[in-house]
Chains A and B, each alone.
Chain A
Amino acid sequence: MKLTRQEVQNIAHLARLELPEADMPAFVENLSDIITFVDQLENASTGDTQPMAHPLNMNQPLRPDVVTESDHREDYQRNAPAVERGLYLVPRVIE
């Protein structure tokens, strides 16, 4: 399957990746090759196969509804570039 340049640009945008114009032909080519390779799976017969949600054939273990965490805000916020009044500061986003 051949991806268009527009599709690759859209995928990059959704992933917030900036791709240099000069590299675009190579990305279109390489991503198309990967999809073509995976496309072979379309030919596999899956009529009797149950769809899997996970490679491990196990069920999700559950935990009891108990609060065991305590406050470590100070430790965690040492990794943050900017904090104020307990909040993490980020470049302004507004709806």
Chain B
Amino acid sequence: MDWEMVIGLEIHAQLKTASKIFSASSTAYGAAPNTQANLVDLGYPGVLPVLNTEAVGMAVRFGLATHSTVAPRSVFARKNYFYPDLPKGYQISQYELPVVHDGYIDIDLDDGVTKRIGITRAHLEEDAGKSLHEDFHGMSGIDLNRAGTPLLEIVSEPDLRTAGEAVAYMKAIHQLVRYLDICDGNMQEGSFRCDANISVRPAGRHEFGTRAEIKNLNSFRYIERAILHEAERQIDILESGGSIVQETRLYDPDKDETRPMRTKEEANDYRYFPDPDLLPVVISEAEIEAVRRELPELPDEKRGRFVSAFGLSEYDARVLTSSRALADFYEAVAATVSDKKLAANWVMGDLSGALNKDGLDIETSRISAGALAGLLGRIEDGTISGKIAKQVFEAMWAGEGGADDVIEARGLKQITDTGAIEAIIEEVMAANPGQLEQYRSGKDKLFGYFVGQVMKATRGQANPALVNELLKKMLAG
């Protein structure tokens, strides 16, 4: 039988605020345990949460960027469950009235097709702390630094049909939250993670099957493997006449399998109710408009502009806009270089290659946008050829200075002196009488050989266009 997967994702994006969502503790990652957990975060009696304005503004930014409705009035609710890294015994979240709802994002699939994925809602909530289970003589250690860190939980419609679509959607959201500068997107540190709801149904059937929820997927590769694995598990059960149990499962990347989570089984009754410690959050039309005016150019818009303003191909524009930092870098280079395609090739080629090789990203590039533009300028004004430029680039990468310093220090300046090139051509002709005779008797292919010899004699520094022109004339005799 043919089966179809139905997938919906819940993405947790940690918001890039300085302080927590309901307290004035720092959210900085990596501090000593419990040094960033104050009385509110620890859930002491008598304390009151006060909402962080920046967290609300970031949620609004996301809502506008996903064509969603920003709720004029939203409400915080308590989600009740017991776990030691949740000191209050409830998580402050949003339930019936989330701050953002009913939007969408368009994702690009491998076959060039665009698919629209619905966003059911995005709500604000606080993160829990962290439990450590090793080395505490049978006890668990609790670090509450993360407790109270603002999260935006982004819930998709069950519109995704393959593991590949799920990954494309997750990447699109990842790219968007970084463009919006509301989340650092660091998946290793858990700033961007996701739960997947997965069910299968016979192809062509309309109703959904029973779903399982896979928790805490924190890499694009894991999410793909976890979905494939889970769908296979469900299909095996259904094909052998069994039925799926609705449950929460955990993906184990080492064994590449999912297994049921023990503790969450009976905790599905969260008994949500409006949090009496917090009043309804009211966002005015004027406040929404103010955020809209400050919205940065989004990936799709930027890509379109790179195609129309710089004449780049759709592919190049997509690569260069994959992150805002890369797009900004490219634009800074292209600002002073007239051949925009040349600038694109260098950023996507030599520069990206060098970054990869050294495990750096664009923000930590050893060559600044201005320095790269300086190098490309020297290609454009004929000081060096494209081939020599690669040599200069490597020297710049190694810290030998700017393009002009390297060209000067290494004597790489292109030879554009007609007389000098003519003299070298004469030497080459004299040294290769046999080839010269063959060429003159019609073996045109040997032209390339002479070009090679001249370039070799000038260590690649002769202006290639000039060499071609002069060679043609002189070889003809």
Task: Tell me the A residues contacting B by CB distance below 8 Å.
Answer: 10, 13-14, 16, 53-54, 56, 58-69, 71-73, 76-77, 82, 84-95
The A-B contact count (CB < 8 A) is 128
Q: Of A61, A66, A86, A93, which is within 8 A of B34 by CB?
A: A86
List 10 A-B pairs, minimum CB-CB distance, nearest first: A87-B141, A65-B54, A62-B53, A86-B33, A60-B279, A53-B75, A59-B282, A68-B24, A88-B142, A89-B139
Q: B residues within 8 A CB of A82? A: 139
B19 near A87 (CB under 8 angstroms)? no
Smallest Cβ-Cβ distance to A77: which chain B residue = B34
Q: With the chains together, A56 CA to B274 CA distance in Å?
A: 13
B75 near A65 (CB under 8 angstroms)? no
Q: With the chains together, A75 CA to B332 CA distance in Å?
A: 51
Q: With the chains together, A64 CA to B298 CA distance in Å?
A: 26
Task: Let me know if B441 is at the binding interface, CB within 8 A.
Answer: no
Shortest Cβ distance from A48 into chain B, in angstroms?
Answer: 18
A85 near B33 (CB under 8 angstroms)? yes
Q: With the chains together, A90 CA to B23 CA distance in Å?
A: 24
Q: A residues within 8 A CB of B132? A: 87
- Mostly, the B contact residues are loop
Q: A residues within 8 A CB of B271? A: 14
Q: B residues within 8 A CB of A53? A: 75, 97, 274, 279-280
Q: B residues within 8 A CB of A61? A: 50-51, 279
One digit per residue, 1 when the CB lies within 8 angstroms of any chain A CB and 0 when it does not, for chain B 275-319 equals 010111110000000000000000000000000000000000000
On whether A89 and B144 interact (CB within 8 A), knowing A62-B53, A63-B24, A69-B25, the answer reads no
A-B CB contact pairs (8 Å), 11 listed: A56-B279, A61-B279, A62-B52, A65-B18, A65-B52, A73-B37, A76-B42, A84-B136, A87-B34, A90-B84, A95-B263
Question: Counting chain B CB atoms within 10 Å of each CB, which of A58, A61, A62, A84 scores highest?
Answer: A62
Shortest Cβ distance from B363 into chain A, in angstroms?
Answer: 23
List 12 other contacts, CB 8 Å, given A54-B274, A69-B23.
Answer: A14-B80, A54-B280, A60-B280, A71-B36, A76-B37, A76-B42, A85-B141, A86-B32, A87-B132, A88-B34, A88-B84, A89-B141
